[in-house]
Amino acid sequence: MDTILDILSAVIREAISPGTAAVAIAVIGLNLHFGYTGLLNFGQSGFMLLGAYGFAISLVHDVPLPLAVLVGLGLAFVFALVLGIPTLQLRGDYLAIVTISAAEIIRFVGRLSNLKDLTGGAQGIQGRTYQPAFVDLSFFGDGAWTLAPFNYTDVADGAGWVRALGGLVFAACIVATVLVGRRLKRAADPTRTAPRTGLDGTLGKVAAVVLVLIGLYALFFAMPVTYGRSGVNGWWVRAVAWTLVALSTLVVYLLVRSPWGRLLRGVREDEDAMRSLGRNVFAVKMQSLVIGGLFGALGGMVYVLASTVQPDALGRQITFFSYTALLLGGAATILGPVLGTVLFFSARILIRESARAYVPDSIMSAQQTEQFSFIVVGVALVLLVIFRPQGILGNKRELRFNV
């Protein structure tokens, strides 16, 4: 039982880690590219790396934090222009080739020994050289804090049945949220002729939010998580990271519900039709590439807040992880990128820790369990694409691309 609890604890810690939040922000930008506009951007890691380098190098040279953020975003803006101007007027596969090549060029330039004084070379920029500027902003105070201060340890002397009850409440809330979500989805179908009931409107949305909040509290009631209030790996960096995830999600929600968002869908589905209506397709694509790239740069900055700026850590594998998370959660959805990212990294840790705990070393070493976790997640993604190509939250009607 203790082994299972240790595995679940590792999964929860990974789900709320700053790294997961950083990739979620990058996936939100990728969703704007691929999900809403149909742009095949395979260089999101390049945007993340440029944002991280601009942010960290600026702080190392005593540039104020707000200006350091602007430097990182500015580099991503220029990168998007350099990529987009020669390629966005061509077919989508050209953009895919250019973006993945450009991202690799940035990674190799960052590794150059000639630039070691600036980028740190292959070893990167150590976190202790730029993190204090961010940590010093914390107003959380010192000491440790537990998420869900009132938890199972405060009931019946921490009996096992109390913890199990919290887990059951969490599972029940997840099932109820899924059922309410399906009902809301059916209610939104324009071809539906059945009469609407209370849960088909605003009441259903409120119920879904309440169920999610209750479920999250039940989860942390059963599995409390403790970190330092401040520091490079404490609640301060997690609070900032997930607040930025929420703000990024809100910004995309407002954008795609605007007239500009309808332009994105029109470009994705039929560029020629949009041109016949007098729309500047190139401008719309460029705007999408720039805005999504800025989200990628922001994700890169968050990614290095609790680690170091190491070029290989933000290589092409991050782009592939991002696409995996996007397809898992559902492209062209608001919450799909966040849900997919959390599930992707959580599932990988669950598989890895389970293999380490229950598979003998004579069959699979600790290093091999890491590779095994990626294999299992990859197979699961293949099955998902075959049997549910729209992802968990996606809609098949959104899977129309003109690339």
Tens digit of each residue's pLDDT, the chain (403 residues)? 668 888 888 999 999 999 999 999 999 999 999 999 999 999 999 999 999 999 999 999 999 999 999 999 999 999 999 999 888 877 777 888 889 999 999 999 999 988 888 998 889 999 999 999 999 999 998 889 998 889 888 888 888 888 889 989 999 999 998 888 878 777 766 665 555 565 666 788 888 889 999 999 999 998 999 999 988 889 999 999 999 999 999 999 999 999 999 999 999 888 888 888 889 999 999 999 999 999 999 999 999 998 899 999 998 889 999 999 999 999 989 999 999 999 999 999 999 999 988 888 888 887 888 888 888 888 888 888 888 888 888 877 666 555 5
Is 7:354 a contact under the CB 8 Å cutoff?
Answer: yes
Q: In this structure, is residue 356 part of a structural domain?
A: yes
* 242 and 356 inside one domain: yes
- Among 9, 19, 36, smallest CA distance to 336 is for 36
Q: Which residue, 223, 239, 268, sits at the end of a domain?
A: 223
Strand partners, 228: 144
* 394 and 290 inside one domain: yes
pLDDT of residue 113: 87
pLDDT of residue 288: 95
* 234 and 218 inside one domain: no
Strand partners, 226: 146
* 156 and 138 inside one domain: no
- Among 105, 100, 69, 101, smallest CA distance to 311 is for 105
Q: How many domains does the chain have?
A: 2
Q: Which helix (H) or strand (E) holds 147?
A: strand 144-147
* 180 and 236 inside one domain: no
Report which residue type is found at 155. V
* 138 and 275 inside one domain: yes
- Rounded CA-CA distance 273/278 in Å is 9
Report which residue type is found at 336. G
pLDDT of residue 195: 57
* 158 and 45 inside one domain: no
- Rounded CA-CA distance 273/92 in Å is 17
Q: In this structure, is residue 285 part of a structural domain?
A: yes
Range of the domain at 199: 149-223
* 376 and 391 inside one domain: yes
Q: Which residue, 223, 249, 282, sits at the end of a domain?
A: 223
* 236 and 201 inside one domain: no
Residues whose CB falls within 8 Å of the CB of residue 19, separated by 6 or more in sequence, listed in order: 303, 306, 307, 345
Is 123:311 a contact under the CB 8 Å cutoff?
Answer: no
Is 65:357 a contact under the CB 8 Å cutoff?
Answer: no
* 277 and 163 inside one domain: no
pLDDT of residue 203: 82
Q: Which residue, 166, 188, 223, sits at the end of a domain?
A: 223
Q: In this structure, is residue 87 part of a structural domain?
A: yes
Q: Whose structure tokens read 């450009």? A: 102
pLDDT of residue 1: 61
* 196 and 242 inside one domain: no
Q: In this structure, is residue 403 part of a structural domain?
A: no
* 68 and 101 inside one domain: yes
Q: Assign residue 292 the CATH number of its domain.
A: 1.10.3470
